[in-house]
A and B are shown apart, each in its own frame.
Chain A
Amino acid sequence: MDKMIFLITGSRKGIGYNLSKYYLDKGNIVIGCSRSESDLKHEHYSHYCLDVSDEQQVNNLFMQIRKQFGRLDVLINNAGMASMNHTLLTPLSTVNKLFDTNFVGTFLFSRQAVKLMKKNNFGRIVNFSTVAVPLNLEGEAIYAASKSAIEQFTKIFSKEIASMGITVNSIGPTPIETDLIKAVPKIKIEELLNQQAIKRLGNFNDVINVVDFYISSNSDFISGQTIYLGGVFK
């Protein structure tokens, strides 16, 4: 397939923004979404403002995609939020927000995407986990729990959709210089890097490399997997 149709959540900044630019530069069509407007301008880019955990808004977006393109090839569930705090100091509202954005968003987009992808008997879904899951980092109990949910979802969902020619996998990035980690103290980042086999921050190319692998047409025998960056493993 030459020109593929991508849907990338959380595309306004950070990893989502860079993934969008990368796949646009490769000649693909990218549909992006985030809570607010994007400054990414490209003839093959369209942006939707929505809350990824709002079912009706998500359904309406997919209705638009079906009308406009009639298909979807790749979904990248990148939208996410983090919160570092001791569990005893975490308000319930933070827990709800994290699970809504990280897990519920991934679920809603995946469910609707498969409905579109199954027609062509082809589709690739890439979810985002984190190294905080295998590293069991203190202060990240809620964040890691929401990402663990994504990993488990990825495994079981892969079985449910395999017969439709669709794969679903996860990537677990290390810290990358994005807004998501800017509030994390330097010492905490250093402690984290020391637990990786390869002790450096990740970069966008590290993420793109894994996403490219997952979405390749040659990767039709790869599903339900999670790859962690930086030499981190369970």
Chain B
Amino acid sequence: MNVEREEIKEIIFKTLECFFIEYDLSVDMSDGEHTKLFGGDGVLDSLGLVSFVVAVEEAIEDEFNVSLVLADEKAMSRRTSPFGKIKYLIDYVFELINEK
């Protein structure tokens, strides 16, 4: 597939926004792409991460008609987790989807 990083970024931020509304969370996103998602002072707890990952998978599926599993071997074996920061997640999805 040939998908621009900007498209992925838009989908992820939109999904995150919907997620915060759905779970009634008020989150400081002033760091933009550098906002920490999970681990340490990340904005998501473990159950929140599970729900958010599913929401991103569905959003990708709806937009590009392709089924991705984000928590795959590659994600788990990386030195830098794709779920650590929004930026890493965008980069990871961008990489995965363009491999399809």
Question: Is the beta-carbon distance between A66 and B58 smaller than 8 angstroms?
Answer: yes
With A115-B54, A115-B57: A62-B47 Cβ-Cβ less than 8 Å: no
B69 touches A55 (CB 8 A): yes
Which residues from chain A sit less than 8 Å from chain B, CB to CB? 55-56, 59-60, 62-63, 66, 115, 118, 163
Q: Give the tally of cross-chain contacts (CB within 8 A).
A: 17
Q: Which B residues have a C-beta under 8 Å from some C-beta of A? A: 47, 51, 54, 57-58, 61, 67-69
Tell me the interface secondary structure of chain B in the complex: helix
User: In the bound complex, do residue A63 and residue B61 qualify as a contact, i.e. CB atoms below 8 Å apart?
Assistant: yes
Chain A proximity of B32: nearest CB distance (Å)? 28
B67–A59 touching, CB < 8 Å: yes
Q: CB-CB < 8 A to B61: which residues of A? A: 63, 66
A177 shortest CB reach to chain B, Å: 38
Give CA–CA (A118, B52) in the complex, Å: 12
| Minimum Cβ distance to chain A for residue B76 (Å) | 14
Q: List 17 A-B contacts (CB under 8 A).
A: A55-B69, A56-B67, A59-B67, A59-B68, A59-B69, A60-B67, A62-B67, A63-B61, A63-B67, A66-B58, A66-B61, A115-B54, A115-B57, A115-B58, A118-B51, A118-B54, A163-B47
Complex interface: chain A residues within 8 A of B51 (CB): 118
Residues of B within 8 A of A62 (CB): 67
Nearest-neighbour CB distance to chain B for A220, whole angstroms, equals: 19
Distance to closest chain B CB from A68 (angstroms): 13
A213 to B88, CA, bound (A): 45
> In the complex, A55 Cα to B67 Cα: how many Å?
10
Q: Which residue of A lies closest to B72 (CB)?
A: A55
A66 to B55, CA, bound (A): 13
Of all chain B residues, which has the CB nearest A163?
B47
The 3 closest A-B pairs by CB, nearest first: A59-B67, A63-B67, A115-B54
Chain A residue numbers with a CB within 8 Å of B67 are 56, 59-60, 62-63
Smallest distance from the beta carbon of B54 to chain A beta carbons, Å? 5
Q: How far is the CA of A215 from the CA of B34 in the complex (A)?
A: 44
Per the bound structure, the CA–CA distance linking A118 and B57 in Å amounts to 14
Min CB–CB distance B71 → chain A (angstroms)? 9
* Chain A residues within 8 Å of B57, by CB: 115
Question: In angstroms, how far is the closest chain A Cβ from the Cβ of B45?
Answer: 12
